[in-house]
Structure 1
Amino acid sequence: MNVIEVETLPPRSSEPLVLAIGKFDGVHIGHQAILSHARDRLQPGWEFGVMCFWPHPMWVLAHKAGYDRWLTPFPEKVRLLTAFGVQRMYHVHFSQAYASTTAEQFVHEHLANLSLRHVVVGFDFRFGKGGKADVEDLRRMCADIGVPVTVVHPVEENGQKVSSSQIREHLGEGRVEAAEALLGRPYSFVGTVIPGDKLGRKIGFPTANLGDLDEYVLPGGGVYAVAVEILNQPEGAPRGNWFGVMNAGFRPTVGGTTFRVEVHLLGFDGDLYGKRLRVSLLRRVRSEKKFQNVEELTNQIRQDVLYAQSMLGLNKRD
């Protein structure tokens, strides 16, 4: 994918382009509907592009709690959009200055700089200073520059519009199956294995302590059954795929004060330090709890592992 960083105006382009516009945080099933409509309008020789915005406008304009983190930070968004067939991304730096762009400027200066053949947006797309312009304004203004606009109806699940804020709420409450239904895939994040306090190893359940998660929306505290992919294997070696049990939380039994994510890979025996792991959330096992002592915690972890193995079908015999 060709990623074009945009601070003010996007650079002038002559390649015919179908453009989907939005934040695309999560690339959930609602976003996928927008992308599918855009892809369906491609003709030979045209490129498939998206325009998305960072940091999150909710963070820049209102410092809304949690919106300094993403469901899909930039590398994950690129990965998912590339898999969907997107060839070009206009990655717009959303700042207070950019937020002052009027609707007319956005269309007649920013979009007009591109050789657009079609624009596709969601039904609730708003743009221009103060978000005052809506999809009907977009249609009218794009007609001035000869570009048709398709507005995609909302995708609903259980009578509610699928949204990134819904997914964030589900994850915060540990409802990972509900988040998966709205994403169209298990929610995942990528972190680097860093040194921890090695308590898991001492009690017989070694864990990979994950760092580099500051940009991700993380699930609410608790124990989860997960799938783990080891990404940076030696050249030529297959990527390792494992099931695991993950603890996310403050570790109150041992006096923890910071939120940590630690993963025990079922059946794995090896060195993971420095490895990059993609962790996909499958099911919540239980909420975080403070135990009376480490022995009681160890007994509970043993039960968590047995439950996860049963749920994942790992204790079956042929």
Structure 2
Amino acid sequence: MTVVLEVETVYIKGPFDVKALENEPCVMALGFFDGVHLGHRKLIETSRGIAERKNLTLAVMTFFPHPSNVLPTNQKINKYLSPLDAKKEIFKDLGVEKLFIVTFNHEFAKLAPADFVQEYICGLNCTHVVAGFDFTYGYKGQGNMDRIKDDGDGEFDITVVSKESYKNIKISSTKIRELLNGGAVELVPHFLGNFYSTCGQIEDESYDLKNQKTMVKVTFKDYMLPRKGTYLVRLKTEQNMIEGICTLSENTPDVHTIRVHSNDRLHLKPTVKVEWISELETLPKGEGAGTEEKDQMVV
């Protein structure tokens, strides 16, 4: 496997000059990849194997923002399982060498399927496309993997990756969101491949000497969080993983407190990775007062 030190990232916002990009021949994996779950990983690993055999660059094309913010739908997705920065880090670990981030706007949504293929796949010198069986593209999703080769006039090969399942349930970002909305964070690893994690910005860290407890106040920008409740979590530090208790309350929708037993201050870095292990208690709607006392009892 190729060790990637940094993923070359290219942002594409609207029509672009193909000659200006001068992209090298590549194998390209297509998808939104929110969460980069087990199905996505299979797709990227398949792409990586092809790229290694053909001695080509491994590229990924993803889109931002989520199409639901542009297309008419009742449910808009503006909180992500893996915001762009987190997605980049995962791609790097999977050996992706080049990342194309396409702005999904009204103009892009109106592209005819053949135009998308000619401009964004053939135009970027892609010689092999890899995508999931249910990948669609172009105006109203009229393009699919059955017609993509014809839309590209046979200029590239294709590999269609089949559905990945757990207990006959399709592995998907939608299913992971459903689990988070139900507080079932302990089931997420079956679909994601590991515990759901969020990278947060530490707003404050205080130490309660009497109770030997560190209180960490943290914000999670752009991440989807589990439903309101009290959770067992793990904080990743440079040395190890530390268990703590986090309560998500309607009273504090933006800043969340994590309580950790510790003999001394943790002196955490400005950003921290938090893994969500299990739900300890569900908060009734509107409840939030008194959760600090409950958390201390749980800890």
Q: Quick one: which amino acid aligns to residue 99 of structure 1? A: A
The answer to whether the 8 Å contact 2:214/2:261 transfers is no
Q: Give the equivalent residue in structure 2 for 1:261.
A: 256
Q: Give the equivalent residue in structure 2 for 1:123.
A: 133
Q: Give the total of aligned pairs.
A: 287
Q: Give the equivalent residue in structure 2 for 1:13.
A: 22
Q: Distance in 1 between matches of 2:73 and 2:222?
A: 15
The answer to whether the 8 Å contact 1:194/1:209 transfers is yes
1:283 paired with 2:278, answer yes
Q: Distance in 2 between matches of 1:2 and 1:292?
A: 44
The answer to whether the 8 Å contact 1:108/1:145 transfers is no
Match of 1:161 among 170, 184, 198: 170
User: Which segments of 5 or more consecutive residues in structure 1 lack a partner in the other structure?
Assistant: 231-237, 251-255, 306-318
- Report the Cα offset of residue 261 of structure 1: 2.1
1:2 paired with 2:11, answer no
Match of 1:140 among 150, 154, 157: 150
Change (3 A) 1:117 1:201: same
1:56 paired with 2:63, answer no
Please, which moves more after superposition, 111-120 or 93-102?
A: 111-120
The answer to whether the 8 Å contact 1:194/1:273 transfers is no
Change (3 A) 1:192 1:100: same
The answer to whether the 8 Å contact 2:26/2:59 transfers is yes
User: Which segments of 5 or more consecutive residues in structure 2 lack a partner in the other structure?
Assistant: 1-6
Structure 2 SS opposite 1:185:
coil
Q: Distance in 1 between matches of 2:252 and 2:122?
A: 52
Change (3 A) 1:260 1:203: farther
Q: Give the equivalent residue in structure 2 for 1:316.
A: none
The answer to whether the 8 Å contact 2:122/2:155 transfers is no
Please, which moves more after superposition, 50-59 or 240-249?
A: 240-249
Alpha carbon RMSD of aligned pairs, Å? 2.6
Structure 1 SS opposite 2:188:
helix
Q: Distance in 2 between matches of 1:35 and 1:207?
A: 39
Q: Give the equivalent residue in structure 1 for 2:245.
A: 245
- Report the Cα offset of residue 302 of structure 1: 3.4
- Report the Cα offset of residue 116 of structure 1: 1.7
Calculate percent identity across the aligned residue pairs: 25
Match of 1:84 among 94, 98, 105: 94
Q: Give the equivalent residue in structure 2 for 1:99.
A: 109
TM, length-normalised to structure 2: 0.87
CA displacement 1:36-58 (0-9 Å, x = unmatched): 11111113641100000000001
Question: Which structure carries more strand by proportion?
Answer: 2
- Report the Cα offset of residue 29 of structure 1: 0.5
Question: Which structure carries more helix by proportion?
Answer: 1
Q: Give the equivalent residue in structure 1 for 2:295.
A: 301
Q: Distance in 1 between matches of 2:139 and 2:24?
A: 28
CA displacement 1:121-163 (0-9 Å, x = unmatched): 0000111111111111113223x14201111111011212111
TM, length-normalised to structure 1: 0.82
The answer to whether the 8 Å contact 2:38/2:191 transfers is yes
Change (3 A) 1:189 1:39: same
CA displacement 1:229-260 (0-9 Å, x = unmatched): 24xxxxxxx4553221111112xxxxx36354
